[in-house]
Structure 1
Amino acid sequence: MLNKQSPLPMYYQIEENVKQRIANEEFKRGEAIPSERELSESYEVSRMTVRQAITNLVNEGILYRRKGRGTFVAEEKIAQPLQGMTSFTEDMKSRGMKPESRLLSLQIKTAPAEISQKLHLESSSQVVKIDRIRYADQEPMAIETTYLSVRKFPDLTEDIVKKSLYDYIEKDKGYTIEKATQMIEAVIAGEKQADLLGVEAGQALLHIERNSYLSDGSPFEVVISDYRADRYKFITDMFRG
């Protein structure tokens, strides 16, 4: 299986072999691969060598670790176009996936200074703060915190939040959502984030901050999300000139 006479390092040969076994569907997407001990025995190398290969594959997004459960083959990443503005619910439904939300908390509180500024509120204004975990086909995809003005949306309930906020805003409240400004950067999962998303601490996440606007130009929400980088990627078209 491995060529110990080759100048290629053992860990690199293991990486390529694991990739081939995934391509051949010997290791299936979404399923666990053998443990480090089992792999070290089958490849006849040290566990340290296997660990280096597995860590490299995790860093590439080919594998991912689930705390207390082992190492799994990553599913195909969900490609999210940067053009157009959809809610998580709309996006997952368009892909034939079942969206769900687990509500962690719904609070009315005084808006933090940065949120007040982004929502064009006075410093003493109150906001609804919604913390949710977003699921697709029962798999956690993102941790999401949403801020909305209490004055603009005074009748938000847990039932509304568990469904689609955008449906509520456009169909129930009669507003027209027009655009958003979005910032994306890479971050590392802390212990709490990792536990909520079912991944290992230290795994890469996509940190997204969105400021959304209605058709009259007024900002209506600030959304701060951490998406699993092993399950999500963003794509965009670019034109020269």
Structure 2
Amino acid sequence: MLYKKVMQDLKSRIDSDEFKIGDILSTEKELIEHYSVSRITIRKAVDELVKLGLVEKKQGAGSSVIGKTMTGSMSSLRSTIEYMAESGVNLEYQVAEFTLIEPDEEVAKTLNISKDEKVYFIRRFKIINGIRAIYEDSYMPAAMFPQMNIMSLQGSKYHYLENELDFEIDGAIQDFEAIMPDKHICEILDVSPNTPIIRLLSVGKLKDGRIFEYTKISFKPNTYSYKHYLKR
């Protein structure tokens, strides 16, 4: 659809150095002339940017840039909040579930523990510029975190591990897959069940070799991206 092409181009311009947070987009008339499209097309495109939490419309004041797409680098392991500092976006954490469970075979094998050992199951949503953009399910060995509580998870997990528990994180093995979202993910991220989304599988490892987390992260389309520069 034409309005989506316009939205994608505007989104790319917002994410580039052309705009800073707080800048005002071109007027509706200027956008119509620039893209040679109708007023309805421009309005639909801007409305999509509003839904992504990148633009805010104010009566009589035009549309202002309030955020940029968060971009993670595959060259180093960093928390979402560390990426946020570079992207100029507002990030909130919402802990939806925090329970002690028995791991299934997949989780136990990934964490390198027996099925008899308990793990914490943590479901969190990350809200970027007021939009639920990231759906995160984590499994962490309970024996490694005897004092973990819900308050520990209302911010960066990496900050909690490194600064409060003095753990030394070595890195993570990460893999990407395309999935069809289930009903709950569709409701939380406001996506269609017919729209494939990207899911990141991350297995975090400490410098002493222990696996400290197995996390499955699903992303709302167009709100988060990964980039990697490959040297030849």
Distance 1:156 1:236, change over 3 A: same
What are the residue-to-residue correspondences of 1:101-116 with 2, within 5 Å? 101-116=93-108
- On the 8 A contact 1:103/1:162 being kept in 2, the answer is yes
Alpha-carbon displacement from aligned partner over 1:149-194 (angstroms, at most 9, x marks no partner): 1000011111111122112211111110011000112223333212
What are the residue-to-residue correspondences of 1:33-182 with 2, within 5 Å? 63=48, 76-182=68-174
Aligned partner of 1:46 in structure 2 is none
- On the 8 A contact 2:71/2:83 being kept in 1, the answer is no
Aligned partner of 2:215 in structure 1 is 223
Distance 1:19 1:208, change over 3 A: closer
Q: Determine the C-alpha separation between the residues in 2 that align with 1:178 and 1:15.
A: 41
Higher radius of gyration, 1 or 2: 1
Aligned partner of 1:36 in structure 2 is none
Aligned partner of 1:192 in structure 2 is 184
Aligned partner of 2:204 in structure 1 is 212
Alpha-carbon displacement from aligned partner over 1:78-110 (angstroms, at most 9, x marks no partner): 221111101122221332322211111100011
Q: Which amino acid aligns with 2:224?
A: Y
Q: Determine the C-alpha separation between the residues in 2 that align with 1:233 and 1:203.
A: 17
Q: Secondary structure at the match of 2:107?
A: helix
Displaced runs of 4 or more, over 6 A: 14-24
How many angstroms does 1:138 deviate by?
Answer: 2.0
Please report the RMSD computed on the Cα atoms of aligned residues, expressed in angstroms.
3.4
- On the 8 A contact 1:115/1:222 being kept in 2, the answer is yes
Q: Determine the C-alpha separation between the residues in 1 that align with 2:173 and 2:162.
A: 19
How many angstroms does 1:142 deviate by?
Answer: 0.6
Aligned partner of 1:3 in structure 2 is none
- On the 8 A contact 1:206/1:227 being kept in 2, the answer is yes
Q: Which amino acid aligns with 1:208?
A: L
Q: How does the TM-score come out when normalised to structure 2? A: 0.72
- On the 8 A contact 2:69/2:225 being kept in 1, the answer is yes
Gaps of 5+ in 1: 1-10, 28-38, 44-49, 67-74
- On the 8 A contact 2:7/2:48 being kept in 1, the answer is no
Alpha-carbon displacement from aligned partner over 1:19-73 (angstroms, at most 9, x marks no partner): 789988456xxxxxxxxxxx99x88xxxxxx9xxx9xx9xxxx95897xxxxxxx
Gaps of 5+ in 2: 14-24, 29-36, 52-66
- Percent identical pairs in the alignment equals 17
